[in-house]
Amino acid sequence: MKATRIIFLRHGETVGPQGVLYSQQDIPLSEKGLQQTRVLVEGLKNLAEIKAVYASDLSRARLGAEWLAEVKKVPMIITPKLRELNFGRWSGKHFKELMDLEEFRQRLQNPEHLAPPGGETLEELQSRALEIIDEICTKFGGEMVVVFTHGGLLRTVVAHALDIPLRKFFSLQQDFGAVNLIDYYKDATVVKLVNGPFDLNFETLLSR
C-alpha cells in the first residue's frame, strides 16, 4: 500500500528575542523568517504530488501555507490544532526568567505530564497533533501533504514516529524553517528526514 507522505515544516524565524516562550501568541516572522519561508515555498512549488496544505492558524506558520496553496492551487486547511504548545501564564516569558520558578524546573523534569499554569502538557499537545495526522491519512491517504506548524508540536510528532518518550522532547532539535519528512503506512511509520535545512533540494530528497 502506498504511504501517505507528510512534509512537516517549522515556520521561519520570528521577530523579537530568542528564548522567549511565545506559545500561542501571534508573533510575526522577521525579515529573515520571511525569506526562509519564500525559499521553502520556492523549493516545494514544483512538486506535482502535493495534494493539500495544512497549517496552524497563527500567522508565522499560516503565511507559508497561504503562499504554497495559492501557487499549487490545492486545498488549504487552517486549524488551531496545529498551534504551538499552550504555555498558559508562562507565555511571553523568557526561559531564563522562568528558570527561577520551582514549578517550571519541575516541569522540565516531567514535561509530558505537568502542564504550565493554564496551559497544556506535552501529551495533550501530541494528542492534537496526532488527530491532524489521522485526518490527513484518512482524507489524503496515499498522497503527499505539506504541514506548516511549530517547533514544539513537531518535536512531539517526531517523538511519536520514532517511539521516543516525551521526556526526551528537548533532545529533538527543530530549527527555524526545519524540514521533516515522514511516510505513514497502515501499520508502520518511516521517518525519512528530521530537521533538514529550509533550503534543501526537495526533488533530490524525494527521489531517494
**Residue 79: band (very low, low, confident or very high) from pLDDT cuts 50, 70, 90:** very high
The Cα 142–Cα 29 span in angstroms is: 32
Cell of 15: 521577530
DSSP character at residue 73: T
Task: Give the integer Cα–Cα distance in Å for 17 and 94.
Answer: 9
Kind of pairing, strands 179-184 and 4-10?
A: antiparallel
pTM of the model: 0.95
pLDDT digits (tens, 9 = 90+) for 140-149: 999 999 999 9
User: Which CATH code fits 4-206?
Assistant: 3.40.50.1240
- For the segment 29-51, what is each residue's pLDDT rounded down to a tens digit? 999 999 999 999 999 999 999 99
Q: What is the DSSP string of 133-159?
A: HHHHHHHSTTSEEEEEE-HHHHHHHHH
| Residues 137 and 184: beta-carbon distance below 8 Å | yes
pLDDT of residue 207: 84
